[in-house]
Structure 1
């Protein structure tokens, strides 16, 4: 049996004093912005940048160098997360980005410049 939490769209609310975090159906990813380049790395260190060029470009355009974020790569399709669309990326990255662009949901700012924010 898989545990499920209350969902706002069903009219349920969490009891007072409780909090919940959304579960995204995607790839947990570290996004690292360095001078002149952006890396997207899986938990195991695999390079996800080629499959999500639109995320790399947006991070390059919008984030200052020296930032590292922890988050999740996801693809939305018709109001839901489409994990299968994310999995299908790779050789078809450019076409996939047009059909259903990836998004990066940031959870934590891990470092800013030389400052480690994980401690």
Structure 2
């Protein structure tokens, strides 16, 4: 179904956006991996608000510092900021038990069976 929709997109917009559409067509095998997952997992993949918020908070911490003496000092600062940021996370992922179960099926080798 997604491939049919991609063909429709190509026939309608290829003249105006050929580079972008050709990129999708040429990389379809990798891009279509997304459709192998259930809807709940796909929602986690395409919902980037939490990652954007996290990155914004890290940028806020480093914004006032233009130079770090070493790479380690930057990493330490980001680590400490991450510790503070994650303390404020209170919102749960909707249907997390279902999402976790699906992730454990798709990525069985990465899950500790006692953690589920």
Identify the TM-score tier after normalising by the shorter chain.
Answer: under 0.3
TM-score, structure 1 length as denominator?
Answer: 0.23
Q: Report which of the two has the higher share of helix.
A: 2
Q: Which has the larger radius of gyration?
A: 2
Q: Report which of the two has the higher share of strand.
A: 1
